[in-house]
Amino acid sequence: MNHNISTHTPERLLLQWHITDRCNLFCSHCYQEASPSAEPSFDELLLILEQFKEFIHRCREQSGSRRFKAHITVTGGEPFIREDFIALLERLAADSHLFSFAILTNGTLLTPAIVQSLIRLKPGFVQVSIDGAKETQDLRNENYTAEAMREFLRDMIANLNGMYHVMALNPDLLYSKEQVP
């Protein structure tokens, strides 16, 4: 197999890495399958990571002196559903000289201990998805109502020190009507 990269090497590489199809929510609008497929073991995830790192090295060699940037955004399903997810993030953080990394999550499994791990591991961002108006959001899960999410996000934002992005289609999810700027 020829591992040569073509003469064109991009300046950036983004890997959106779906490490699981499992999720703790069952949103009707989600693109994830209702029945998750077999998920890779932790060792298989590390093998994929090694292959990504090798590809980054080859791209950097091919680009010569030009700076080649790489980034991994980890998602799923819900990535925090994996018991080994923090261990994977520790590996990503150890390789932060090669690439940046971030997390896409529904936010429902973030605990104070996980938030402390995120502060220590320093992902580029943690993106929490909120999908629509109160009526739509409340359809996701009885424990994931718009009001519960609003309170949770206030606490999380206070703890993550600016390391978050919130994807919200409706500002009412974060503020009461009296507080909307």
pLDDT one-digit tens code per residue, 123-139: 988 887 765 555 555 44
Q: Could you tell me which residues are beta bridge partners of residue 133?
A: none
CATH number at residue 65: 3.20.20.70
Q: Is residue 92 part of a domain?
A: yes
The reported pLDDT for the residue numbered 180 is 35
Query: Residue 54's domain spans which residues?
Result: 12-23+40-173
CA gap 73, 62 in Å, rounded: 24
User: CA dihedral in degrees (61, 62, 66, 72; nearest 10)?
Assistant: -80
Q: Is residue 7 part of a domain?
A: no
Mean pLDDT of 14-42: 80
CA gap 127, 146 in Å, rounded: 17
Mean pLDDT of 65-74: 84
Q: Is residue 32 part of a domain?
A: no
Window from 41-55, 57-71, 127-141, 146-160 with minimum mean pLDDT: 127-141
The reported pLDDT for the residue numbered 34 is 57
The reported pLDDT for the residue numbered 132 is 54
Q: Is residue 126 part of a domain?
A: yes
Q: How many residues in total does the chain contain?
A: 181
Does pLDDT of 18 surpass 70? Answer: yes
pTM beyond 0.85: the answer is: no
Q: Which single residue is written with the structure tokens 């020190």? A: 161
CA gap 160, 114 in Å, rounded: 11
Q: Is residue 51 part of a domain?
A: yes
**CA end-to-end span of the chain:** 58
Comparing 53 with 4, the larger pLDDT belongs to 53
CA gap 92, 74 in Å, rounded: 10
Q: Is residue 5 part of a domain?
A: no
Mean pLDDT of 8-22: 87
CA gap 18, 142 in Å, rounded: 26
Question: Quick count: other Cβ atoms within 10 Å of Cβ 128?
Answer: 23
Comparing 30 with 13, the larger pLDDT belongs to 13
Our count of domains for the chain comes to 1
Q: Is residue 140 part of a domain?
A: yes
Q: Is residue 129 part of a domain?
A: yes
Question: Could you tell me if 114 and 87 are in contact, meaning their C-beta atoms sit under 8 angstroms apart?
Answer: no
Q: How does residue 171 score in pLDDT terms, banded at 50, 70 and 90?
A: very low
